[in-house]
Amino acid sequence: MRCSAFPEDLVAAQCAWERTYQSLADPANRQRTTVLRRRLLELSVQVWWHPYWRQAGTGQRAALRSSARELGSGAG
């Protein structure tokens, strides 16, 4: 179940961040590390500076990461 407390674009960026991080950790992607690191940095900026954080309370970043992991694992 998708958490409605977060904007769709923020959840999508965090899910993409999780997938990119996993790809970077995969030894099969050794030839793509530069591309993956750049993508991870782009996504980090999108997530960190998203306008949602201006009004969000503390602990919401961890909740977003947890929600993205659940969605990525198919539990959501």
Q: Does 17 or 56 have the greater pLDDT score?
A: 17
Q: What is the pLDDT of residue 24?
A: 96
Whether 53 has a pLDDT exceeding 90, the answer reads yes
Task: Inform me whether the pLDDT recorded for 11 exceeds 70.
Answer: yes
| Own/partner long-range contacts of 3-11 (Cβ < 8 Å, ≥24 apart) | 3/63, 3/67, 5/60, 5/63, 6/52, 6/60, 6/64, 6/67, 7/50, 7/52, 9/50, 10/47, 10/50, 10/52, 10/64, 11/64, 11/67, 11/68, 11/71
Please tell me whether residue 11 adopts helix, strand or coil conformation: helix
Q: What is the mean pLDDT of the chain?
A: 91
